[in-house]
């Protein structure tokens, strides 16, 4: 560090020094992993990098397959006589069945309720309090049937109660076990034990509005019918073009495996009508065309017998490559979203399970896109970027800088030249300034042999000179974004990206500042 000292000759003034300071403020390495993150890349045995990752692009849950609609039934329990009655007098008794009328020829045998409620609005048209007993023998919990016992006072809607239905085992086979979709309940009405003797007239009694609400099954078994389920158009984040930009990008090969995981004990036949690569940066869309997406057979899952992990899922793999599709232009579009739509046919061959289809809560059909792109490609250029924190711990005198520069010491271990730009960012990642001039931002390529193999990395130094505006923005900045454009030679063979390629950047601030001291 050099210091030039100047002293004032007047009394009661101060001395000042002009000091040169060189201090690193940031360091970053730009390599192919900066596209998405280290975990999304793998090297093969030849050290060639592969962009290899999986994205869930769709799923179906149990409510797509089977749903008990909210059901409200009105019951009237009226006297068919006129008489004077005392306490504990039986007025009405009835056992009956409810058919839920589930569509698509579904035939449900049994289930377990995860969540649900039973809501009852009571009206009593007599002058006596009445005892209302309700037993739902089709619903049991801890070997006890669901049961209601309420004293209903006289009046319209004189009592409104909601009862928890969670955790009940349901039988849907009716009173004699020979039906489907059917439950059994029993109503009994007495005069209340504390009722005083009074007359009940013909047509008087209890009205009950019983509503089964928000029934969510934990488990369902039966035959789920033969039905079509539409997969409406949706999109999933892929992320290619988030940080990767390339001109005239042409890959050597690519692979997508659509992995369909089925947790349902049901056979399906699926069809993906639309699979589209969407690049929102340039607005381009490329639709994937492959005949094997038109009819996909999905086998049923099986039970494990263990409630902690109840399902042995079945997995169907649909391998898409450049031989059976237009996958290359699909990937070369560098999508950041994948759009899809389709339909699924439930039980395409009918009731092969003999009414033993099953489904558990929080399971379903999940569709994954497993993507593998070996990084062997052609392009005019490709871009890498990284965002670094700036460390000013060793630079305390930015308010008193006379002049300065920002130095970028770059080590290039790529077999092609690059151009670097740096952007100062504030705490909200807004761009404050760019630092390098286009006439002074070229990074030389690594030294290579005749086979284009790297012999040694090449060092370059880029300098950005500070002016008042740059200095002001530097004070406000919290981060610096590095963007490098790698330019490939014209009409090259396919470029191969190996796992040891990198661009290392050390950023240093070199300033001359004035420091003061009282004389």
In 176-292, at which residue ranges do the beta strands (DSSP E only) sit? 182-191, 198-200, 205-223, 227-237, 245-247, 250-251, 255-262, 268-279, 284-287
Q: Is 200:103 a contact under the CB 8 Å cutoff?
A: no
What is the DSSP track for 395-416?
Answer: ---GGGEEEEEEEEEEEE-SSS
Per-residue pLDDT of the chain (519 residues; tens, 9 = 90+): 333 333 333 444 545 454 555 566 666 666 665 544 445 678 889 988 888 888 888 888 877 666 667 788 899 988 888 999 999 999 999 999 988 888 889 999 999 999 999 999 999 999 999 999 999 999 999 999 999 999 999 999 999 999 999 999 999 999 999 999 999 999 999 999 999 999 999 999 999 999 988 888 999 999 999 989 888 899 988 866 555 677 888 888 999 999 999 999 999 999 999 999 999 888 999 999 999 999 999 999 999 989 889 999 999 999 999 999 999 999 999 888 999 999 999 999 999 999 999 999 889 999 999 999 898 888 888 887 778 888 665 555 566 677 788 899 999 999 989 999 999 999 899 999 999 988 889 999 999 888 888 999 999 999 998 888 888 888 888 898 888 888 887 766 788 888 888 888 888 888 776 565 555
Q: Write down the pTM of the prediction.
A: 0.75
CATH number of 50-58+229-371: 2.60.120
Nearest by Cα to 505 from 388, 382, 383, 381: 388
Q: Is 114:141 a contact under the CB 8 Å cutoff?
A: no
Bridge pairing between strands 442-443 and 155-164: unpaired
CATH number of 3-37+380-518: 2.60.120
What is the DSSP track for 321-382?
Answer: ETTTS-HHHHHHT--SEEEEEEEEEESTT-STTSS-EEEETT-EEEEEEEEEEESEEE-SEE
Q: Is 20:1 a contact under the CB 8 Å cutoff?
A: yes
DSSP at 252:
S
Cβ within 8 Å of residue 396, ≥6 positions away: none
Bridge pairing between strands 3-6 and 14-30: antiparallel
Nearest by Cα to 187 from 278, 73, 274: 73
Distance (Å, rounded) from C-alpha 233 to C-alpha 342? 8
DSSP at 48:
B
- The helix/strand/coil state of 63 is helix
Kindly report the number of other CB atoms within 10 A of residue 433's CB atom. Answer: 17
In 44-143, at which residue ranges do the beta strands (DSSP E only) sit? 49-61, 71-78, 83-85, 90-99, 107-124, 130-141
Q: What are phi and psi of 469, to 5 degrees?
A: -65, -45
Q: What are phi and psi of 56, to 5 degrees?
A: -80, 125
Q: Is 325:288 a contact under the CB 8 Å cutoff?
A: yes
DSSP at 70:
-
Strand partners, 20: 512
């Amino acid at each position: 560090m050099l210091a030039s000292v100047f002293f004032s000759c007047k009394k009661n003034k101060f001395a000042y020094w002009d000091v040169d300071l060189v201090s690193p403020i940031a360091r970053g390495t730009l390599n192919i992993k900066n596209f998405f993150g280290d975990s999304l890349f793998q090297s093969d045995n030849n050290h060639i990098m592969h962009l290899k990752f999986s994205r869930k692009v769709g799923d179906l849950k149990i409510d797509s397959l089977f749903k008990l609609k909210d059901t409200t039934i009105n019951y009237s329990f009226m006297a068919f006589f006129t008489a004077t009655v005392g306490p504990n007098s039986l007025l009405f008794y009835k056992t009956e069945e409810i058919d839920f009328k589930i569509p698509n020829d579904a035939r449900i045998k049994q289930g377990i309720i995860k969540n649900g409620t039973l809501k009852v609005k009571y009206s009593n048209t007599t002058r006596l309090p009445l005892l209302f007993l309700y037993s739902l023998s089709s619903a049991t919990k801890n070997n006890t049937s669901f049961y209601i016992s309420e004293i209903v006072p006289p009046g319209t809607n004189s009592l409104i109660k909601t009862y928890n239905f969670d955790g009940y085992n349901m039988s849907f086979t009716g009173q004699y076990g020979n039906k489907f979709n059917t439950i059994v309940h029993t109503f009994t009405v007495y005069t209340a034990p504390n009722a005083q003797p009074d007359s009940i007239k013909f047509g008087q009694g209890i009205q009950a509005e019983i509503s089964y609400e928000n029934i969510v099954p934990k488990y369902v078994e039966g035959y789920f019918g033969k039905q079509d389920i539409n997969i409406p158009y949706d999109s999933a984040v892929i992320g290619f073009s988030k940080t990767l930009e390339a001109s005239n990008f042409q890959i050597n090969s690519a692979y997508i495996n659509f992995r369909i995981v089925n947790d349902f004990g049901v056979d399906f036949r699926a069809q993906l009508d639309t699979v589209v690569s969407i690049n929102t940066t340039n607005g381009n869309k490329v639709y994937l065309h492959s005949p094997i997406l038109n009819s996909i057979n999905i086998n049923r899952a099986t039970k494990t017998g263990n409630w902690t992990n109840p399902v042995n899922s079945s997995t169907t793999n649909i391998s898409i490559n450049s031989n059976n599709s237009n996958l290359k232009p699909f990937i070369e579009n560098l999508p950041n979203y994948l759009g899809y739509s389709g339909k699924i046919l439930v039980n395409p061959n009918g009731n092969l399970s003999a009414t033993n289809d099953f489904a558990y809560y929080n399971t379903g059909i999940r569709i994954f896109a497993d993507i593998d792109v070996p990084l062997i490609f052609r392009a005019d250029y490709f871009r890498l970027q990284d965002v670094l924190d700036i460390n000013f711990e060793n630079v305390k005198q930015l308010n008193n800088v006379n002049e300065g520069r920002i130095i970028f010491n770059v080590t290039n271990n790529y077999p092609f030249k690059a151009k670097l730009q740096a952007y100062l960012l504030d705490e909200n990642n807004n761009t404050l300034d760019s630092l390098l001039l286009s006439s002074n931002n070229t990074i030389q390529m690594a030294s290579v042999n005749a086979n284009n193999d790297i012999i040694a990395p090449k060092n370059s130094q880029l300098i950005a000179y500070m002016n008042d505006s740059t200095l002001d923005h530097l004070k406000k900045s919290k981060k610096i974004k590095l963007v490098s454009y790698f330019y490939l030679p014209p009409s090259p063979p396919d470029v191969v990206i190996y796992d040891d390629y990198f661009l290392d950047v050390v950023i240093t601030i070199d300033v001359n500042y004035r420091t003061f001291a009282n004389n």
